[in-house]
Amino acid sequence: MDAEILLWIQEHLRSDMLMPVMQFLTHLGDTAFIWIGMAAVFFLFKKARTTGLQMLAALLGSLVINNMILKNLAARVRPYETVEGLRLLIEKQPDWSFPSGHAASSFAAAAVIWLNYGKNGRAALVLAGLIAFSRLYVGVHYPTDVLFGAADGMLIGWAAVQGTEWLRRRYFVKRKEL
């Protein structure tokens, strides 16, 4: 079914007009470039520094869990290597397919923004979704790679927010003496 979805995207959604847009979106997620940049912007504002810190924690968690551990455990070959007729729209990727690191890091960072800013953070989730979908569009991931990466990333983002809040309460908030 994964292969059929990729071939359907190739047959019905790919176009000369969308191709450069999707290539641009997919490269926004390279090395979490866009999300690290956003975290840096959050660090510029005193009231938003915690969000920047949480984003970096989520991105680091995603890197370790997804790119260093899960990809090597699953060792899933990229779809352009196995799906007959699938055309690759960007360069071959140097690592394994499962899970999608782009989807995981994007949703980890976007979840942090959304959890901190509610409705105002929805644009980050939309951007994460576009980056994740672009991985299917350009032919470097199976849908299950992207879905797992997105879910896993949301969980990692939530854990980063909860973990930093726990540390703040535990070590940095002055307690009233009874």
Asked if pLDDT for residue 168 goes beyond 70, the answer is yes
Quote the pLDDT of residue 120: 92
pLDDT at 175 over 70: no
pLDDT in tens, 92-144: 999 999 999 999 999 999 999 999 999 999 999 999 999 999 999 999 999 99
Contact in structure between 80 and 86 (CB atoms under 8 Å): yes
pLDDT at 176 over 90: no
3-class SS string, 113-167: HHHHHHHHHHHHHHHHHHHHHHHHHCCCCCHHHHHHHHHHHHHHHHHHHHHHHHH
Average pLDDT over the chain reads 93
**Residue 172 reports pLDDT greater than 80:** no
pLDDT band (50, 70, 90) for residue 178: very low
Tell me: pLDDT of 177 over 60: no
Q: Which of 62, 99, 56, 50 is nearest to 78 (CA)?
A: 99
Q: Residue 170 pLDDT more than 90?
A: no
**Mean pLDDT of all residues in 37-62:** 96
